Chains A and B, each alone.
Chain A
Amino acid sequence: MTLCEAEKTFVLHGVEENFRIDGREREDYRPMELETDIVSHAFGSARLRLANTDVLVAVKIEVDTPFPERPFEGKLEFFVDCSANATPDFEGRGGEDVAIEISNTLSAAYHSPKVFDLRKLCILKGRKCWKIFVDILLLECGGNLFDAVSLAVKAALWNTQVPLIRQIDIDGNNVELKVSELSDCQRLDVKTAPVMVTVCKIGEHCIVDPNVAEEQCSVGSIVVSVSENKFSTVLQTGTGSLHSSTLLDCLKLGYKVAQRLDDALWSTLSKIQPTEDVGFLK
């Protein structure tokens, strides 16, 4: 999608008057829909639809060997797949740049042990641990991918059931594990998992949740990921340059919005009922 100068000016004026093209204010989000448990054979899953950005996240768990330098920790891996369904530009290897950017940012955001404690995934020191694969599938891109992905990942991890270890038999180098049934599992603790907010600078003001048109008008944007009351990563994207005072304003706005977003996510998750499989048929 390309915009002409007049359209860009229109978006810019809208942001200045705090009345954006779809009627939102600068700090407002578009409507979101969240569903969990929609991939039946995964350990946890979630689908988030933010206006017309659509993200499906599934979590799979495997037994693996811990890294030698971190024998007490499990592993967490993010994989982003840009489906060509989202835009023909993603065909073949076209979506790889976007995919790598998102997955690297997610890994950075989840890196700190205060954010997500990998030590709980250790089964046997230096020998066995759980490896969590978080697979993210982008089905439609309507702007603001980072926020949508981070919320969907958090919801999917919240929904994830890690099997319990009933018994460990060690025989020389062989380790055999007896794993509990799927009905008897423990949930992951994701209270401190980060929420990302993209703050976009358009003209003199900063906005959150840009749609595709607004992303095109922005001179630069900052992605902040906030875990409870601390930043876990800050990433500047786009080609523009920002003044340091503007940057601080962006961070403050991002922090404030992330708190609201996190609260909203928790209250939604607590209300989710195990429903009949609706998924895409709704």
Chain B
Amino acid sequence: MSTNKELISKIGLRLDGRRANELRRIRCKLGVFTQPDGSAYLEQGLTKVLAAVYGPHQVRGGRSKAQHDNAIVNCQFSMAVFSTNERKRRPRGDRKSTELSMHLQQALLSVIKTELYPWSQIDVYVEVLHADGGIYPACVNASTLALIDAGIPIKEYVCACTASLANNDTPMLDISHQEEIIGGPTLTVAALPMSGKIVLMEMSQRFHLDHLKKVLEKALKGCRDVKQILDEAVRLHVRDVGSSTGWAGTG
């Protein structure tokens, strides 16, 4: 590890040995649990996230919240108390988790075809098991997989990725916790990679507008890369499930 805390070394390697435009290793699995309608597990580097989807089902807690033309999407973000290096006191309910729940809802509402399920509710729960930077992107990506596993119609994949700027000129992709601490602005983007639309963009620090274009470009490329990986996982999963049921009902 470099001691002078450079984000990118002279030969172009980052602290964990990646190049500037490389994602961390993403491993994922659909259908990890049996009780939820859809579930997924996603590892992005050391960040580990579980997502579960329940629904569409009847609106819980009174019909006053129900909408006559849309389904409501209810998200809850929660972090295991042991997920960070320093033990957390509470798994949820603090400001950061409330904010992340709202952002997650925003990203998912943009892709779920809610108009198909009036008077109903879809619950998305994410649980962070290990936090090592890029929690929000990992949650969005895992939720997408869980929605697909639950068979809820979505317009397209919604993927998220972070990007940052190293040494004031090189954009970097997929920021780890260590790199977050060292500094540099972090740009979080949730996008629809196929149509190229952005559903959420968040900038953490003061940042010159001139750099925004290339960092955003980099983050969008990250989203497209993530989509490739997720798509591959979904196809593999569908193939496994399909072949184990003998492709029942498709012939």
Contacts and interface: CB of A to CB of B under 8 A. Distances in A.
Interface of A: 39-42, 45, 52, 54, 56, 58, 60, 62, 79, 81, 83-88, 91-93, 133, 135, 137, 139-142, 279-281
Interface of B: 27, 29, 32-36, 39, 41, 43, 46, 48, 50-52, 54, 60, 74, 76, 78, 80-82, 85, 87, 91-93, 123, 125, 127, 129-130
A65 to B, nearest CB: 17
Given A85-B125, A85-B127, A135-B80, A281 B85 contact: no
Nearest to A58: B82
Contacts of A137: 80, 82, 127, 129
A134 to B, nearest CB: 10
Nearest to A83: B127
Given A60-B82, A281-B29, A40 B130 contact: yes
Given A56-B129, A135-B81, A85 B33 contact: yes
A140 B125 CA distance: 12
Specify the main secondary structure of chain B where it touches its partner: strand
A88 B85 CA distance: 28
A140 B33 contact: yes
Contacts of A93: 93
B79 to A, nearest CB: 10
A140 B35 contact: yes
A83 B125 contact: yes
A52 B34 contact: yes
Given A41-B130, A88-B123, A81 B76 contact: no
Nearest 8 CB-CB pairings of A with B: A58-B82, A280-B41, A85-B52, A84-B125, A135-B82, A81-B91, A83-B127, A60-B87
B76 A91 contact: yes
B97 to A, nearest CB: 11
Contacts of A45: 82
Nearest to B124: A84
Given A40-B46, A142-B35, A88 B129 contact: no
A139 B82 contact: no
Nearest to B51: A85
Nearest to A54: B33
B29 A280 contact: yes
